Amino acid sequence: MLAKRIVPCLDIKNGRTVKGVNFVDLRDAGDPVELAKKYAATGADELVFLDISATEERRRTLVNLVRDVAAQVNIPFTVGGGISSVEDVDILLQNGADKVSINSSAVKRPQLVNELSQKFGSQCVVVAIDAKKIDGEWIVHLVGGKVPTELNLFDWAKEVEERGAGEILFTSMNNDGTKDGFANDALARLSEELNIPIIASGGAGNVQHFIDTFKDGKADAALAASVFHFQEIEIPDLKQELKKQGIPVRL
């Protein structure tokens, strides 16, 4: 079995790392370059950098900050926010990103997934899906969770897989920042219905939540932010506990 991955997420706004609850009430969580450096040194398997206001502000991702972070890490580095073209991705890869994450731009123009996977390879293309459970159905949302669509989470995930996405980063808006655990029922269904890795996001509050998402949610990777940024969970301790539970991890 492949090792399960622990992925800290840097949500960036105005050049700083921020964290909120249910996508709102953002608070400062530190300097992204220093945080990235720390995570790479303490056993994170990958790093995700999301420029969370780029789409809303209709601008490109912060390339200089991407370059600064990339210079400090030796682990796979995924960048998202404001990416809408092959040219955008080209610039980010040239400046140190290993993978890109697209969300709103993929919904608005699904062909973008095909274009990116054909040009750069599916291993480079992560499709992020922010979804909220409304009346029993998981509805895809855009622009940092502000704009609901008519898309169903599972249908959309299958479509982007068929178009060439290499991974799905699924964030449950209901769970995000609550520290009540990941949306494991939805994650397990995604894992069963798709053949590409699923990254769990939204809801990490303690070590047991990571154990549960790997065992019950069948997630391939677990992404978290505030529990790492505010030292509530240290990655080496988390990995030791996962190993004790029989979950394969890289130590």
Query: Over pLDDT 70: what percentage of the chain?
Result: 92
- The Cα–Cα gap between 207 and 107 comes to 33
68 catalytic residue (yes or no): no
- Interval 81-109 mean pLDDT: 95
Average pLDDT of the chain is: 91
Q: Which of 45, 130, 176, 212 is catalytic?
A: 130
What is the structure's pLDDT at 212? 98
Residue 101 region by backbone torsions, left for phi larger than 0, else alpha for psi between -120 and 50, else beta: beta
What is the separation of C-alpha 105 from the centre of its chain, rounded to a whole number of angstroms? 16
Helix/strand/coil percent split, the chain, to 5: 35, 30, 35
- The Cα–Cα gap between 212 and 216 comes to 5
Three-class secondary structure of residue 203 per DSSP? coil
pTM of the model: 0.92
Please say if the pLDDT value at position 25 is more than 60.
no
- The Cα–Cα gap between 53 and 12 comes to 8
Domain ranges in the chain?
5-244
Three-class secondary structure of residue 93 per DSSP? helix
Provide the greatest CA pair distance for the chain. Answer: 46
C-alpha pair distances (Å), 159 with each of 51, 127, 130, 136, 165: 25, 11, 15, 21, 9
Both tokens of 188, joined, read 């397990």
Of 83, 56, 224, 58, nearest in space to 142 by CA: 56
5-244: CATH, from 3.30.465.10, 3.40.50.300, 3.90.600.10, 3.20.20.70:
3.20.20.70
Tokens 């996962």 appear where?
242
Q: Which of 11, 45, 51, 88 is catalytic?
A: 11
185 catalytic residue (yes or no): no
Instruction: Kindly report, residue by residue over 181-236, the tens digit of the pLDDT.
Output: 999 999 999 999 999 999 999 999 999 999 999 999 999 999 998 899 889 999 99
What is the structure's pLDDT at 13? 80
Q: Contact, 148 vs 173, CB < 8 A?
A: no
